[in-house]
Structure 1
Amino acid sequence: MKIQFPWEFSFGAATSGPQTEGASDKKVESIWDYWYRTQPEVFHNQVGNNPACNTYYEYMQDVELMKECRLNSFRTSIQWSRIFKDPLTLSINEDGVSFYRNYFKAIKEANIDLYVNLFHFDLPFVLEDEYGGWLSDKVVDLYVEFAKACFQLFDEFVDKWITFNEPIAFTRSAYFYNDIYPCHKGTQAYVTANNNILKAHMLAVSFYKKNYCKEIGIVLDLLPPIICSKEDQYAGLVYDVFINKIFLDPCIKHEYNKDYLEILKKHEMDIQPITEFHPIDFVGINYYQPVYVRKQGDYRESGFYPWYYFETYIPEGVRINEYRGWAIEPRVVYDIAKTIQNEYGNIKWYLSENGMGVENEEKFLKDGMIQDDYRTEFIKEHLYYLAKAVEEGSNCFGYHLWTFIDCFSWKNTFKNRYGLVSLNLQTREKKLKKNAFFYRDLAVNKFFIGPSYV
């Protein structure tokens, strides 16, 4: 069965600055640099993010690989810690600016649309140390100055701007699960940080809209709840409003979700009102897995956490990615698309991250190439449901695979690989995997032959 996408549909890949660039000595310290320097044992195999993919020095090689993959578009991010020599005084790091200008120019000369994100989990450490990071209004103001500098320096190269990538993944990991520094566990911190990030987003969008003319949006990660019993419906609602709708509703509907506000009030959580909401041109949705949710059965925390109302689990018989322990539910892509179409005004959107992480991928090496047919099948299954939604009127304009080159993945470092291109950590060789050839044909021809079960 032939699965066809519109000719203008964009197939690309996504990554980020802190996960690929390396060259940590050419910038100020980020929270990741500091955390690795002070606690390397936290990181898988004690590997840090330097040299990562060495993109700072090898960006021309990377762009040549993008051309080999025939990418229509590409997303990366600008590191706040690379733009300023001092994020407090806002003094510009000319070396960092030159790197991004040269890198972005090379991407554009390769006829690849460039999507640039401003924040991908990489706060300059001094802003955490001096002000408490996203718990501070001062960091909101400094982010806006960072955004203004980026707009002025790089707008000529950029096709789409993105204010934040996965803000909830960042705050959830930093304030609930100890997976991102400062590992400051607390629901009030989570609520405050999200509110401040939302303010920063709105201020950046407002400034850009008044002064520039490209498109600007935000990338959100969705973990749609799946409810298997009527008695678990409220548990699913709480999960949804605390994980998915904190940004989705304000960014598109221009208001906080009322159930979210009611739960905060019930548990005496403070939230500073946001009085100005500014429309975005598009939203990116990152989707890897849904989450099965049921009523909490045994809450043992002191103080209020959202899981007072719910717990997550994986039912027997559900297909999972054994390397991540994540449920594989391609049909949820269709549900997401229809939700955006029917409940969020059919705003312009794209599937901004989707992919399959596999551990010890070198075991699939044959004839000098990673034989990742499992990744091709994963992509086909998800794109089947996306194509179905597009045919039914979903305003989706593209799909980005996570990721382009196997990259540093936070505390997991290089444990799980997602790339179109493999990275050998010993030889530093970068080489296309088998799936890259399927993806190249897809990017060029806009169709594929559907998965076997269709």
Structure 2
Amino acid sequence: MKYSFPEHFWWGSASSALQTEGTREGQTTWDYWFDREPNRFHNGVGPQQTSTFYQHWKTDIQLLKQLNHNSFRTSISWARLIPDGIGEVNPQAVDFYNQVIDELIEQGITPFITLFHFDMPMAMQEIGGWENRDVVEAYARYAQICFELFGDRVLHWFTFNEPIVPVEGGYLYDFHYPNVVDFRRAATVAYHTVLAHALAVRAYRAGHYAGEIGIVLNLTPSYPRSQNPADVKAAHIADLMFNRSFLDPVLRGEYPADLVTLLKSYDQLPACKPEDSALIAEGKIDLLGVNYYQPRRVKCRDSAVNPQAPFMPEWFFDNYEMPGRKMNPYRGWEIYEPGIYDILVNLRDNYGNTRCFISENGMGVENEQRFIENGQINDQYRIDFISGHLTWLHKGISEGCNCLGYHMWTFIDNWSWCNAYKNRYGFIQLDLDTQQRTVKKSGEWFAATSLNNSFDK
């Protein structure tokens, strides 16, 4: 069967500054943490050992062209552009980003630019990071500077990538720096991130730029184990905390009332100012990026909460492992293609069918050298993964969902936080020793799909 996509559909991939560029003038939280605890990183590989985009940007953009990308998302590094977060702009960084943006456009590839992709400047973290409203203001200034420098050519801006992840990782579950376990502080970080987002949107609107501004959220549909009311309630609370805590403010301009009521009843609400609600209402976006990797399956708790334990989301649900689920064993994630359709239908039916696109979807696999045939990685499993998701994406579009594109994570094997290079995600294989780039079978498949704006299955 042939699956054809709308005219001008965005075909491309996504990456980030920290995961591809390498050494920066300004230190990030990742550089700081790696210096102190390299044991927390797979094989002791830190954020300096990336895919060297800072040196190879021109040839890498040629590879994007070879893969028939018509669009590509990456991020600007706040710590590269403004090394201390608040001071002078680094002219070398301006030159670099100008060259990248201009070369993308020259090659017919539309740049999608994210302002913050987990890479807090350490100088900002030292004064409290997102817990401190001064950092919110510093971010707004940084955003304004980016718009002024690059807004004449960049027409698709995103304030944050997956803002729930620094909240979860840094302040709940100890997989990002600063390794805090404290729900109230996590809620403050999430709230201040929304305020920072809204300030950036306000600045963009005030500048009357020609493009549009949005945010990229990793949406994980919450599926209850059963239709038992206790399971349904558990899934609802998980959805409130992990999806709607960002989705509602950026699309509706306000928080879900039942989330506010729930957190208030446990005294976990962040400190709010009277003018905040008007600011949040100004933060409504033009375009939503949706990152989808896996579903969240939950059930009601089977055991009582330990009253001495820290308040956590898991006070309200347990994770549920659905029998017979399809798994990516390397990443430990369930593969559930219909989830991408369910997200789109939810946006269509409950959020005014907002303009959106799939900004990340991908499959990380360990030791892909096992699959080399005639000098090329035969990653048919990745082709199956992409085509399976695109089939459900196509169904959503055919039923009126306003989805404008599909970006894969990622175009080249890159450094991935604490996992470093354990799991590879790229269309292009990276040899870490030689930095040689080799297109995988999935890259050829994607190039053909983009060229034809369709695929057969």
Q: TM-score range by the shorter chain?
A: over 0.9
8 Å CA contact retained: 2:225, 2:322: no
Matching of residue 285 in structure 1 with residue 300 in structure 2: no
Residues 8-27 of structure 1 mapped to structure 2, 5 A cutoff: 8-24=8-24, 27=25
Alignment match, 2:72: 74
Aligned with residue 303 of structure 1, among 310, 317, 335: 310
2:350 counterpart (343, 358, 367): 343
1:411-454 alpha-carbon deviations (Å, 9 max, x no partner):
0001011101111112211111000111001111111112xxxx
Per-residue deviation, residues 32-61 of structure 1 (Å, max 9, x unmatched)? 111111111110000012130111111011
Contact 2:358 2:405 in 1 (8 A): yes
Match of 2:116 among 112, 116, 119: 119
Task: Kindly report which structure 2 residues correspond to 1:130-169, keeping only aligned pairs within 5 A, or say none.
Answer: 131-169=127-165
Amino acid at match of 2:456: I
2:393 pairs with 386, 391, 395, which one?
Answer: 386
Shift of 1:378: 0.5
**Which AA in structure 2 matches 1:259?**
D
Partner of 1:430: 437
1:80 is matched by which residue type in structure 2?
Answer: W
1:193 to partner: Cα distance = 0.4
Preserved contact between residue 177 and residue 185 of structure 1 (Cα < 8 Å): yes
* TM-score, normalised relative to structure 1: 0.97
Partner in structure 1 of residue 219 of structure 2:
222
> How far apart, CA to CA, are the structure 2 residues paired with 1:364 and 1:303?
45
Deviation at 1:213, TM superposition (A): 2.4
2:179 is aligned to 183
Secondary structure of the residue aligned to 1:226 is strand
Give, in whole Å, the separation in 1 of the partners of 2:129 and 2:109. 34
Question: In structure 2, what is the Cα distance between the partners aligned to 1:367 and 1:127?
Answer: 49
Aligned counterparts of 2:85 and 2:166: Cα–Cα separation in 1:
20
Instruction: Give the ranges of 4+ consecutive aligned residues of structure 1 lying more than 6 Å apart after TM superposition.
Output: none
Task: Tell me, yes or no, if the aligned pair for 2:84 and 2:124 is still in contact at 8 Å.
Answer: no
Contact residue 350 and residue 398 of structure 1 kept, 8 A: yes
Structure 2 unaligned residues grouped into runs of 5+: none
Letter in 2 for 1:306: P
| Aligned residues with identical type, % of pairs | 39
Tell me, in whole angstroms, the C-alpha distance in 1 between the residues paired with 2:42 and 2:338.
Answer: 32
Q: What CA distance in whole angstroms lies between the structure 1 residues aligned with 2:10 and 2:167? A: 30
How high is the TM-score relative to the length of structure 2?
A: 0.96
The alpha-carbon deviation at position 204 of structure 1 amounts to 0.5
Residues of 1 paired with 2:413 and 2:321: CA distance?
Answer: 28
Give how far 1:241 is off: 0.4
Residues 25-64 of structure 1: pairs in structure 2 closer than 5 A:
27-64=25-62
**Could you tell me whether the CA contact under 8 Å between 1:314 and 1:327 is conserved in 2?**
no
The one-letter amino acid paired with 2:13 is A
Does the aligned pair in 2 maintain the 1:86–1:92 contact within 8 Å?
Answer: no
1:23 positional shift: 2.4
Q: Output one character per residue of 1:247-297: Cα deviation in whole Å (capped at 9) or x when no partner.
A: 100110111011110111110113325322122111011000001101122
Cα distance in 2 for partners of 1:184, 1:371 equals 41
CA deviations on 1:326-362 (whole Å, 9 max, x unpaired) are 1111011111111000100001000110011101111
Q: In the alignment, is the contact (CA less than 8 A) between 1:376 and 1:435 conserved in 2?
A: yes
Aligned length: 446
1:7 aligns with 2:7: yes
Q: In the alignment, residue 40 of structure 1 is paired with which amino acid? A: P
Taking the aligned partners of 1:244 and 1:57, their CA distance within structure 2 comes to 37
Residue of structure 2 in register with 1:252 after alignment:
251
Deviation at residue 228 of structure 1 after TM alignment: 2.1
Q: Is the 8 A contact 2:42 2:420 kept in 1?
A: yes
Corresponding residue number in structure 2 for 1:294: 299
Q: How many angstroms apart in 1 are the aligned matches of 2:83 and 2:332?
A: 41
Cα RMSD over matched residues?
1.1
Show the 5 A alignment for 1:325-336: 325-336=332-343
Instruction: State the shift of 1:159 in Å.
Output: 2.3
Name the SS for the 2:159 alignment partner: strand
Q: Which runs of 5+ in 1 are unaligned?
A: none
- Report the 3-state secondary structure (helix = DSSP H, G, I; strand = E; otherwise coil) of the residue aligned with 2:438: strand
